[in-house]
Amino acid sequence: MKNFFITATDTDAGKTFVACALTQALLSKGKRVAVYKPIAAGCDNINGQLTNEDAQLLTEFSNCEQHISAVNPITFEAAIAPHIAASNENRAISIAEIEKGFAELISLDADINITEGAGGWRLPIHINSTSDQKHVFLSEFVQLTQQDVILVVNMKLGCLNHALLTYQAIISDGLRCVAWIANNASAESMSCLVENIASLEQLLPIPKIAQLNFYQDDSMSVQDKIKAAATEIDLSTLY
- Rounded distance, CA 7 to CA 163, Å? 11
For 30, left (φ over 0), alpha (ψ -120 to 50), or beta? left
Nearest to 227 by CA among 63, 65, 3, 23: 23
Contact of 155 with 13, CB cutoff 8 Å:
no
Give the start-end residues of each E strand in 100-198: 112-116, 124-126, 136-137, 148-154, 177-183
**15 part of the active site:** no
Q: Are 175 and 148 in contact (CB under 8 A)?
A: yes
Catalytic residue among 15, 37, 225, 227: 37
Indicate the pairing of strand 74-76 with strand 39-41: parallel
Which residues does the annotation mark as catalytic? 37
